[in-house]
Structure 1
Amino acid sequence: MARKIGSRYTAHQIVGRGSAGTVWLGEGPEGPVAVKLLREDLACDQELVGRFVQERTALLQLDHPRIVAVRDLVVDGNDLALVMDLVRGTDLRTRLDRERRLAPEAAVAITADVAEALAAAHAAGVVHRDVKPENILLDMEGPLGPGGAHPALLTDFGVAKLIDTPRRTKAARAAGGAPNASGIIGTPDYVAPELVEGLPPRAAVDIYALATVLYELLAGFTPFGGGHPGAVLRRHVTETVVPLPGIPEELWQLIVQCLAKAPASRLRASELAQRLHDLLPLLRGIPPLEVDEPGTEPAPEPWEEDEPERPAAPRRRGAVPLVPGAASADANRDTHTSMRVPAPDELAGGAHGTARAPRAPGQRRPGSARNRAAAVRRRRLTVGAVAVALAAVAGVGGWLALDGDGGQVPPGGTRQSVPAEP
C-alpha cells in the first residue's frame, strides 16, 4: 500500500528491512527514488530529530559517482526519512551469500570503488562509521570493471551518526554497560579497535572497516568475527590478523597496514584507492582463494568417551547479529545498535595473539573448548583408575604383610624379630 512521505514523495513498496527501519521503492518529483524510513521510536526522539536536521546540509552536499546520493531528509509527524538515489542492483552481502568469496581482481576493484567514495566523504568532513557489505551496492546497469565487477556505491551515510545520540548511549549503559563504558554504533565484525577503546570516530575507522570487507571478500569470512559480540570486539584490540595464502605479498601488506591497531598507521582513503588500482594488473586471472573457514567452538557438553565426535556447526559468515533471536536477514541488513565497550580488565583478559587460524573441517584446534573438555574427561578417567587400584591394594594389604626379612606373615599372625648372632 502506497504512503505519502512528506509533501513531495510517495513510497510504494518495501524493498528491504533493517534494524534502523525500512527501505521503500518510491517516487518523487524527479522520478524513482529509494526512501529509507526510520523506525517510529527513532522518529519520536526529539534529540535525534534535531541532529537529523543539523546533518541535512552535510549529507546533501556529498556528491560523488561512488556515493549513493541523499536527495532529501524528511521530517513529517512520525515520519523520519532519507530520500536517496535508486540503484538498480543488489548489495554486496547478497553477492557474498551467493558466491561466498570473490576472485582477488574483482574484490580489489570493488574495494577501490568504495575507497574512492570514502576519500570524497572524508574530504567533506563526513565519516561513514558503518562500512560493511550490506551498505555497499552493486550497480547492475553500470559497465563491468576489472574481474567482471559491477560498479560499487557506498550508501547509508549519516545513519549511524544520526542514531548515535547521548541519550541512546545512556540507555545502552543502563541496559548493562560498565560505568566507564560508552556505546559503540556499528557492526561488531567491522569495528575499529579505537572505537572499542572508547575513542571518538575519525576517518581511520572507515579504512579499518573497508580493509575488513576486503579480507572477507577474499577469504569468505571476517578476520576477527565469530561468537559473542563482546568476544569479537576484544579480538579487534588484542589479536593480529591471520595471513591469507595465494595472494601477492603487496596486496597482503596493504591489508595488514589498513588493519593496523594504531589509526595513524593506516592509509588515507585516497592513498588506499590509488594503491588498489595499481595492484589490479597483478591480480588478473587469479581464481578465488581456497581457504578453510574457522569453525565454531561449541560450549563443552558431557558425552560418553566412545560416542562419535559431534560435527562442529559452521560459523556464520559476515556480521554477527547483536539482538539474540533476531532473524539473520533483518539483523545483518542494517545493524546500527549500541554495544557496550569491554572494560579495561576485560580487554586485558588475554595476551596479544593471532586470530583463530583457518583449519581443515573436523580438525580440532589446540586449546579449543572441545579439547579442554576432552582433557578433563581423560583426567577424570585416569584419577578414577588410580583410585580403584589403590583401593584394591589397600584391601589386599589387610590380609597380607611382609616381615622384616621379606617373608609373608599369615593373616592374624605377628612379626617375629630374629636376634643377631653374637
Structure 2
Amino acid sequence: MSAASLKPLLPGEATLGVMGGGQLGRMFVHAAQSLGCRAVVLDPDADSPAGLVAHEHIHAGYLDEAGLARLAEVADAITTEFENVPAQALARLAERRFVAPAGAAVAYCQDRAAEKAHFGASGVACAPYAVIESAADLAAVADSLLPGILKTSRMGYDGKGQIRVRNRAELQAGWDELKQVPCVLEQMLPLALELSVLSARGADGTVVQFPVQQNLHRDGILAVTQVPAPAVSEALQQQALASAARIATEMGYVGVLCVEFFVLQDGSLVVNEMAPRPHNSGHYTMNACDVSQFDLQVRAMARLPLRTPRLHSPTVMLNLLGDLWFDAAGAERTPPWDAILALPGTHLHLYGKTSARPGRKMGHLNITAATPAEAERLAREAAGLLGLPQDW
C-alpha cells in the first residue's frame, strides 16, 4: 500500500506492528508506546523480548497466513525488526497495510550480490568482488580477488557464513564447507577502521541522519561504538553521510537504514553492507541524542515529521554479550551492575532475554559525558569492571 494518499498516524491513535520479536523489536515497541501508540509483535517465540512488552504478541511464523492476517487486521502500519524476515511476507502485508521498509528494499539486504549491485548503481564504491553460484563461477574467479573473504549470499550476520580464504585451494574448501550455496567472494582490503551511518527516510523523500559512528568489532560482532568518530576527518564523514543518503534514496527506501563502511589504510572509503532497520551501532542514540533511532523508525512508518537528530552528549556504547554472565571457569554469575551504575553517565539497557550464552547479545551500556575524552575514560573504567578488553 502506497503512502501517497495516506494521512499521518497521530500519537495516541495508532497501532504499529513489527515483524520480529528480538531486542530491536523490543526497543521499537518502547518507542511506539512513548507516543501512546499500541504495539503488536509477530514472532514464533513465546518468550521473545519484544513480545513480552507489546500490547499483543502474535505467536506465529513469518509466513503463517493466519498470523499475517491478524497482524494486518490490527496494525495500521508495519515494520520489520531484522533483515531476514521473508520479503514475500512483507509484500503480502503491503497489500493491506503500509509497510516500511518495503519488501523490495529488504530483499536487497537479504542477498549480498543484489546489495552490491545496488551499491554500484548508486555510485558508491565497494570492495572488488565476484558472485559464485556454480563450479564455473568458482573457476573463473580472478587471481586479484585472493586473499579474500567468502560470504554466503543470504542469511549471514554477525560474522556468520563467512570464511577467509588465501588461495584457490582454500576457496574451493571454503565453498564446500558452505555447502556450495550461492556466495560472494570479496577481495580482502587493508582496513584502518570501520564506520556506520544511520539514515531515516520518510515517504515524502525527506532524509535525516545521525552523526557518523566509529565502530570496533571483535570476532565479527560489534563491540564498541564511539560518537563523535574520533579518527575520521570531517571530509570523510561528509562523504559517508552523502553515500548513505544516496543508497537509501536510490531504492526509494522508507524507514531507518544503517550503512556500514570501511576506511582503508590509504584513507579511502568503501561501503561494506547495509541493514534495513535500526542497528546495534545506533543504540547510543537512546541516551546521547534528542531523538533515538527507534523514535525515527516510529516516525517514518507513521508518516510523522522527521527532523535532524541532535547529538547532545559525546558517547561510547559497549555491547554486552552473554559471556559476561560466566566466570573464567564457566560458572554463571551476575555482572557487577551496582559498580557500573555507580559511574556517572552510565545508562544500562538489558533486553529481557531469559538465558545468557556466549556470543548472545544481552544488552548494551551507553556512557555519556561532557567531552569525548571523559566519555572514553568512563567507558574504559566500565570495561575494566566488566572484564572487557580496552582495545579501542
> Relative to total residues, which structure has the larger strand share, 1 or 2?
2
Q: TM-score, normalised by structure 1?
A: 0.28
Query: Larger Cα Rg: Structure 1 or Structure 2?
Result: 1
Higher RCO, 1 vs 2 (CA within 8 Å, ≥6 residues apart): 1
